[in-house]
């Protein structure tokens, strides 16, 4: 992977640079509600401004599925980026074609242009060759700083890269690869992996790849109930993944000492109304597990505080719902405490990042907060990411 910092100055100054960023941020009436992802891209953008580049930024937003949807326009993002940079950010309501060529040609050195949502065209997600060629046409240098989409072989992350002689990774992408590579290749021990969320299938790869590297797996969230069922524990009407049940049983039969599962639960009979809300060690028929109980929070905390390297992806329950956030917040607090004691802590996944913010913590309270969800999981599962492969 060629890094942006090693591209010679004379190959950057005055050049028209296409930068793939991840500005997939929440909007409300066109106004950015959380600018975290925009802020993460600032070091790369500022570096290119300083080098005198003519910069065009490109991103997707939401899932418009190849159709123009005004509520998913990036125009509001351009305004917020301009405020953060303290300078005008121009906006063009397309990402390919004559309009984009004209706006790009008119840029002066150090000026910034934001293109319209890439996914307004079906060719983006389909990695259509003709669309990729049109994306690349106005530009001389390609930079990818969107780690969150690096696991997708889309036109802007993969297909268009072959049309450039000069290409590189931005500082955010570089940092993500560096931090996650350290976890994979040189974790300090004990190495604790905390996995939650609803879906077992999303975590199978990371468990398989880290089984012989991690010292402990802490399992919570909806995925925990498939693990508990594999131990013949009653799970009532809780989430159960039959398709991956055999894989889970295999993990537990071979590495049972490494897996730490909930020993008590917050349960309800109806998730919408929270009817039947109680804490219990055994989940009865008609009840659904929605969070970890007090004993589990303490068990997980003591294990987390043993860690020297900690990776966390996935909440411990339905934390978005008032009254069901305590388990996730308790884990967030324990990981923060471990960081303060000197552990290297990495948070990954959109829901997990939302949870630490809801709990009142900042990104700076942990060693690294990853901008990747699926990309982070696939990287740690040992998979080759198309967006990184294209730069290599």
Q: What is the pLDDT of residues 304-347, one digit of tens each?
A: 999 999 999 999 999 999 999 999 999 999 999 999 999 999 99
- DSSP label of 171: H
- 42 burial (CB, 10 Å; 0-12 / 13-18 / 19+) is middle
Active site members: 37, 199, 350, 374
CA–chain centroid gap for 64, Å, is 20
Question: Can 4-175 and 187-380 be said to share one CATH topology?
Answer: yes
User: How far apart, in whole angstroms, are the C-alpha atoms of residue 91 and residue 88?
Assistant: 10
Check if the beta carbon of residue 112 is closer than 8 Å to that of residue 99. Answer: no
- Give me the pLDDT at residue 349, please: 81
Contact 218, 260 (CB under 8 A): yes
How is residue 265 written in tokens?
């639960």
Answer CATH for 187-380 from 3.40.50.1260, 2.60.40.1150, 3.20.190.10, 3.40.50.720: 3.40.50.1260
Contact 205, 378 (CB under 8 A): yes
Q: CATH number for the 4-175 domain, one of 3.40.50.720, 3.30.565.10, 3.40.50.300, 3.40.50.1260? A: 3.40.50.1260
The domain limits of the chain are 4-175, 187-380
Q: Which residues of the chain have pLDDT under 70?
A: none
- Stated pTM of the model: 0.93
Q: Are 72 and 62 in contact (CB under 8 A)?
A: yes
Angle, vertex CA 251, rays to CA 246 and CA 252, nearest 5 = 100
């Amino acid at each position: 992977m060629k890094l942006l910092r090693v591209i010679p100055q004379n190959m950057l100054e005055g050049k028209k640079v296409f930068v793939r960023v991840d500005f997939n941020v929440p909007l409300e009436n066109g106004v950015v509600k959380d600018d975290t992802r925009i802020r993460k891209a600032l070091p790369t953008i500022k570096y290119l401004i300083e080098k005198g580049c003519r910069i065009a930024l490109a991103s997707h937003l939401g899932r418009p599925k190849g159709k123009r949807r005004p509520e998913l326009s990036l125009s509001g993002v351009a305004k917020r980026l301009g405020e953060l940079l303290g300078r005008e950010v121009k906006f063009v309501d397309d990402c390919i074609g004559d309009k984009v060529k004209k706006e790009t040609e008119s840029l002066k050195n150090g000026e910034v242009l934001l293109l319209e949502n890439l996914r307004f065209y079906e060719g983006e997600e389909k990695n259509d060759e003709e669309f990729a060629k049109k994306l690349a046409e106005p530009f001389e240098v390609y930079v990818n700083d969107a780690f969150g989409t690096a696991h997708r072989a889309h036109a802007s992350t993969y297909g268009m890269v072959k049309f450039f002689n000069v290409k590189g990774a931005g500082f955010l992408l570089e940092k993500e690869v560096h931090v996650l590579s350290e976890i994979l290749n040189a974790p300090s021990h004990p190495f604790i992996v905390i996995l939650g969320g609803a879906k077992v299938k999303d975590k199978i790869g990371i468990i398989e790849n880290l089984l012989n590297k991690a010292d402990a797996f802490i399992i919570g969230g909806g995925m925990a109930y498939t693990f508990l069922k594999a131990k013949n524990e009653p799970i009532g009407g809780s989430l159960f993944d039959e398709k991956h049940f055999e894989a889970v049983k295999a993990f537990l039969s071979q590495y049972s000492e490494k897996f730490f599962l909930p020993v008590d639960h917050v349960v309800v009979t109806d998730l919408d109304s929270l009817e039947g809300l109680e804490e219990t060690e055994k989940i009865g028929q008609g009840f659904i597990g929605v969070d970890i109980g007090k004993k589990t929070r303490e068990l997980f905390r003591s294990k987390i505080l043993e860690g020297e390297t900690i990776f966390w992806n996935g909440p411990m329950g339905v934390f978005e719902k008032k009254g069901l956030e305590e388990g996730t917040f308790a884990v967030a607090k324990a990981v923060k405490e471990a960081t303060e004691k000197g552990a290297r802590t990495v948070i990954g996944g959109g829901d997990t990042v939302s949870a630490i913010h809801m709990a009142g913590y900042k990104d700076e309270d942990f060693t690294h907060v990853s901008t990747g969800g699926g990309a982070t999981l696939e990287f740690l599962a040992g998979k080759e990411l198309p967006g990184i492969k294209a730069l290599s």
